[in-house]
Structure 1
Amino acid sequence: MALRYKTFFYNQKNPQPFQERILASSLAVAVSQTLINPMEVLKTRLMLQRTGQYKGLLDCACQILGREGTRAFYRGYLPNMLGIVPYACTDLAVYESLRWVWLYLGFESNNPNGMVSLLSITLSSTCGQMASYPLTLVRTRMQAQDTLEGSNPTMQDVFGKILAQQGMPGLYRGVTPTLLKVLPAVGISYVVYEAMKSVLGVAKSLPSCLEG
């Protein structure tokens, strides 16, 4: 989807400006997160359920719908959307900076070796995760709330409670396992992406400025 938006904003005469790439990436993530937010809510509730609370995914969805209504499936949507901008900006800025460094050190800019690309993507994704993690934490806290227990906090309420009880470090609780999953997730995605580009011949049909 990011590629579709990049193509929409792409100007054949000039390299794609940084702000257009940010907009394209943000739109792609916004659409995907809008579609999967209900599943994120269900996943969070199932992970935190009390013993015997839900019989399965469908039962969980029915109970949430019956008690809390359809709006419950979009708990945490606002911090999720707000987190897209710092993530996309940081991710892309770090990635472009690393590409410039590799070029300065003598690596090919359009087709660097696999390890260089993997390292660049991993570092940029890690920085993006760090930039947006407080909003991710707030989103998860909001998704975990059950109105049956008399709690339906806003984003400001969750931020205030975390800061009051734990201070600034509280906004980064759980960040270590989140970062530890970046390397295998990015590695697998990169290897599969490159393999499918080769199988489908995508690399030969795309302008070089769209492959970044």
Structure 2
Amino acid sequence: MSEMGPIQYFICGGFGGICTVVVGHPLDTIKVNIALLVSSICYTLGLSDIPASGMYFLTYEAIKDYITNNGKDSPSILGTICAGGAAGIANWLIGMPPDVLKSRLQTAPEGTYPNGIRDVFKKLMKVEGPAALYKGITPVLLRAFPANAACFVGFELCKTFLNYLSSSGGGSTV
């Protein structure tokens, strides 16, 4: 396979995002409803993005490298599903605690936590304990595997298609 440029990565990532929405939206609706019932927390991204995204791509690439003999072979659909699904789970295992803290801060009445996240963390540990950092994780993980598997399957399929276009001479404008 030839090296991809930024435009190809953008196109493949966008196609992967479409696949995520198609597979993940029904599951996301269920996840949000269950999460709201379980813990009354809105799950949004923000504070947790950097470490969670780092773990997301690290996990995907590490598993993909392992199953493709360090890139010597093309990943199979099943391998991509496993790597993408595992990446989604790794993302949320790292991202959930800061996301819970951020959500608690955002949904609290003004002035509840004068020192921000530090106060949220102290109160959460004192009142609910460490398990509260993962409250509602089950529906999140149930959605994470299939949605992220679909994302990376879409990404890899689009990448293969762009490589095909490039090698056939018909897609040299991308």
Q: Could you tell me the TM-score, scaled by structure 1's length?
A: 0.49
Q: Which residue in 1 is equivalent to 2:102?
A: 139
Q: Is contact 2:85-2:146 (8 Å) kept?
A: no
Structure 2: stretches of 5+ with no match in the other structure: 10-31, 37-42, 168-174
Q: Which residue in 2 is equivalent to 1:86?
A: 51
Distance in 1 between residues matched to 2:144 and 2:118, nearest whole Å: 28
Residue 92 of structure 1 and its aligned partner are, at CA, apart by 2.4
Distance in 2 between residues matched to 1:124 and 1:175, nearest whole Å: 15
Residue 184 of structure 1 and its aligned partner are, at CA, apart by 2.8
Task: Tell which structure's C-alpha radius of gyration is larger.
Answer: 1
Structural RMSD (CA): 3.6
- Deviation by residue 1:64-115 (Cα, 9 ceiling, x = unmatched): xxxxxxxxxxxx99x924x2222123222222321232134xx964521111
Pair 103,190 (structure 1): closer, same or farther in 2 beyond 3 Å = closer
Tell me if 1:177 matches 2:139: yes
Pair 80,131 (structure 1): closer, same or farther in 2 beyond 3 Å = same
SS at match of 1:163: helix
Residue 175 of structure 1 and its aligned partner are, at CA, apart by 1.0
Q: Which residue in 1 is equivalent to 2:112?
A: 151
Which piece of structure 1 moves more, 90-99 or 169-178? 90-99
Residue 161 of structure 1 and its aligned partner are, at CA, apart by 1.0
1:185 maps to a residue whose letter is A
Pair 187,128 (structure 1): closer, same or farther in 2 beyond 3 Å = closer
Q: Which residue in 1 is equivalent to 2:162?
A: 202
Structure 1: stretches of 5+ with no match in the other structure: 8-43, 49-75, 207-212
Q: Which residue in 1 is equivalent to 2:83?
A: 120
Distance in 2 between residues matched to 1:99 and 1:193, nearest whole Å: 13
2:86 maps to a residue whose letter is L
Q: Which residue in 1 is equivalent to 2:15?
A: none
SS at match of 1:111: coil
Partner of residue 66 from structure 2, selected from 101, 119, 142: 101
2:103 maps to a residue whose letter is T
1:122 maps to a residue whose letter is G
Q: Is contact 1:102-1:109 (8 Å) kept?
A: no
Distance in 1 between residues matched to 2:8 and 2:53, nearest whole Å: 14
Pair 103,131 (structure 1): closer, same or farther in 2 beyond 3 Å = same
- Report % sequence identity: 21
Structure scoring higher RCO (CA < 8 A, sep ≥ 6) equals 2
Q: Could you tell me the TM-score, scaled by structure 2's length?
A: 0.58
Q: Which residue in 2 is equivalent to 1:189?
A: 151
Residue 4 of structure 1 and its aligned partner are, at CA, apart by 4.3
